[in-house]
Every structure is written in structure tokens, then in C-alpha cells.
Amino acid sequence: MKMTRVLATVAAFGLAVPVMAADHLELRVVGDADATSVAGGGIVNVFIQGRIPSTPDFGLALWGANLSDTGVAAFDVTGAVLDSPNATIDQFKKNLGLTNPAGYGGTAIGGDLIQVGGGQNTIGNAGPTVFPVGTVITGVANGAAWIDLATGTIDTTTQGGDDIVLTLNTGFANALAANTGPVFPVNSIPVTIGGSLTITNGGPLDFTGVASVGNHAASGTFPGGVLDVTIDADDAAAKADYIDPRQFTVSAANLGVRVDFAEAISSGSVTANPALTSLTATPNVNSLDITFDKPANGTCVTFDITGTQATSGNTVDEIGGSADGDFCICYFEADVDRNGLINSFDLTVITNINNLGETMDSGTVFGNFVDLDRSGVINTFDLTLIVALTNLGNDFSAVVCP
């Protein structure tokens, strides 16, 4: 038996009487204090409310609706825990009332909660062991005031960068057509959805990746490919201990880092330890472009992007003493294999004449790290100028990010 039939049965029993049907049931989802928008990033309180503003009938007999995220990310809402808020609404949940098999909080299907809600014991079942066995309460949801039909929480700690928009759909309802029992006739009434609850990305704005970029346009593009080189992380969660084997040229502000976010960025902020000259941070859609003058060879630089702000208003923040806005990069000149040693392997790869002219997006030359000046092409600068014997034997293996 389909769930819609299960729920409809409880209110369909008894004879429908020819009385004027109620106008409609209005449903909405709100947060604390009836807010339509709340901050996410943690446990969020959720309230499904209803009302029958025009009330020729005798109150709600049955209601149900599906709950889903209609935002961009289609967040999985099946972790939401919903229940009746009080003894009156308990009459709509089994065993006092009747719900779909998974219960009053709905059935988890495809990331949505299907048929949240239930119905009262309008069939007059006396029990004692077969549900429904409750006592029908008249006047439920009648009038202009919103009442809580289901309350609970949803965990949004894994929300990511997009807003969650909790929305009800596929609503259905019956109203009591008379106030006599034990069998109550009912009328089917239409359902309208009055509003959704937007849960903004209220946690600290986290970044999703770091790339070493060249001296190129802010778009980061290069004919035939992309100039960006993703910097590997030993600890991706902490965004720490990156190694970038960049060649240091003589021009100021010649090094570049792009920090990627899940949200669009409106303003940037960055500091560095040790301090760097010509340090700038420029928003670039979902990224922050950071440029700066060269540090000393063998230096680990900790960047702090605390205060960088998304268009939604969320900011990178330091929460509870954590370093959510920090990441570190170690600059070891000519360390192609990024092991902390400038050895014969690095020298052999760099001086391989067959690599000359390859573009950094070809993926054929030990990754893209051979293009040490990030020009987009493995050129004579990479193959000859930077392989001075003064580099050979440099040992940076003991240099680590703080």
C-alpha cells in the first residue's frame, strides 16, 4: 500500500458530509522566532507551521508534505529529526494517530524527507493494540495564528558554501467536517506553501584549495590550458605544509598564490609571517589572488586570510583558537620532486632537453612543477638559468611549516 493511501485512510473513514469545506491549509518552514533566514554551520532549529485561516470546518484532521532543500547544493535533509511539538499534535502521530511507516518525521528518500506529518484517529478505532487509538481534538490550526505542526533540528555542520533552502512541497490535508464522534467525517482541503527557511553558510568561510599561479591575467587562463598548479598538502584539512618549488625571479611581486573558496568572494585580506613585501589580496569570483615579493630561498611562509569576506557576508574567521584562516607554503628553489632536497633527480629533470617547449598543461613532465617560473612554457629559463650548481645539494628537509 502506498504511503499516500496509508495516510489518507485515517481521515477518509466515515462519511463525508455536504458542508462547506475549509478554505485551505497554509504551511511554512521557519527558524527560531519565526525567522525565515538563520545562520547555519551547526545545529539549526526547524519549525513546520500550519494554519487554516478560513474555518467553516472543525479543525485539521490530517496533514502531510515533503521536505527538501531547493537551494543550489540540494543538501541532504534526511538527517533532520522532526517530531510533534506537544500533546495536541501527538494525536497526529502513531500510535495515537497514523503516519507513514517511517513515522511522523517522514521517510528518507533521495536526500528528501517524504510525507512528514500524520492524521488523527477519525475512524474511531478503540484499540487497544492497533493504531490509531487516540482521541480526536477539534479546532487544531483553525484561525489566523500559525501553530507548530512539527519541530526539530537539522545538522548543517557539513553545509559547505551554499545556502540551504528548506522547502515543503506535495502537501495534502483533510479537515474535520463535524465535531461529533467517535467517527468523524472529513473534507479534503487544498494546501498552499507559505514560505521556506533559508539557512545561510553561517560557519567560518573555509577555503577549498591553494594553487601556485604565474604572472598572468586574473582569470588564470593560458591558451590551451590553465597556468595554475595545485599545491599538494600533507594535511589537507589544516591546509598546511605545502611545498612550492618556484623559481624566484628578480622582479617585485613576482610570486602568486590563488586561494579557492566554495562561495563568491567580495573582499580580501591577507597577512604573512615572516612579513612579505608587495603583499596584496584581490577577489576574483570564487578565489582570492595573492601576490607578493620573493621570500628567501628555503623559507616557509604562513599566510593568514582571516577577514576575507564572501558576498553572502560570511567571513574567514578564527574560531575557538583554531587556525581556520591560515595556510603555509615552503618555497624551495628548484626542488622539482618536493622532497626538501635539491638533488641529481631535480637537476636531470630540469636539464632534459626533451622537456624544452612543453606547455605546463601537457602533464608529461613530472607534473607541472618543472615550469618553475610559471610562464606556461618550459623554456630556457627553466632548463638552464636555474640549474646553477649552487642549488645542487641544498637540503631543506629540516625546514617545516610552523
DSSP code per residue over 258-281: EEEESS-EEE---EEES--TT-EE
Predicted pLDDT of residue 251:
47
Domain ranges for the chain, please list them: 3-200, 207-387
Predicted pLDDT of residue 324:
65
**Domain 3-200 matches domain 207-387 at the CATH topology level:** yes
Give the whole-angstrom CA distance, residue 55 versus residue 66: 24
Of 375, 377, 378, 372, the closest CA to residue 336 belongs to 372
Confidence of residue 364 (pLDDT cuts 50, 70, 90): low
Do the beta carbons of residue 89 and residue 197 sit within 8 Å?
A: no
Q: What is the DSSP pairing of strand 309-310 with strand 221-222?
A: unpaired
Confidence of residue 241 (pLDDT cuts 50, 70, 90): very low
Whether 30 shows a pLDDT value over 90: the answer reads yes
Which tops the pLDDT comparison, 236 or 287?
287
Q: Average the pLDDT over each of 8-12, 45-49, 95-99 and give the range with the smallest value.
A: 8-12
Predicted pLDDT of residue 297:
80
Q: How does pLDDT run across 310-319, given as a tens digit for each residue?
A: 876 677 766 5
Whether 82 shows a pLDDT value over 70: the answer reads yes
Q: How many helices (H) and strands (E) does the chain have?
A: 4, 26
Predicted pLDDT of residue 318:
63
Task: Look up the pTM and report it.
Answer: 0.54
Q: How does pLDDT run across 136-189, given as a tens digit for each residue?
A: 999 999 999 999 999 999 998 777 667 899 999 999 999 999 998 899 999 999
Give the whole-angstrom CA distance, residue 155 versus residue 177: 39
Confidence of residue 1 (pLDDT cuts 50, 70, 90): very low
Predicted pLDDT of residue 278:
85
Whether 215 shows a pLDDT value over 60: the answer reads no
Fold of 207-387: Immunoglobulin-like (2.60.40)
Question: Class of 3-200 per CATH?
Answer: mainly beta
Predicted pLDDT of residue 235:
37
Residue identified by cell 587556525 is: 323
Q: From start to end of 214-351, where are the E strands?
A: 221-222, 225-226, 229-230, 233-235, 240-244, 255-261, 265-267, 271-273, 280-284, 287-292, 299-304, 309-310, 326-331
Q: How does pLDDT run across 317-348, given as a tens digit for each residue?
A: 665 455 667 778 888 877 777 778 888 887 77
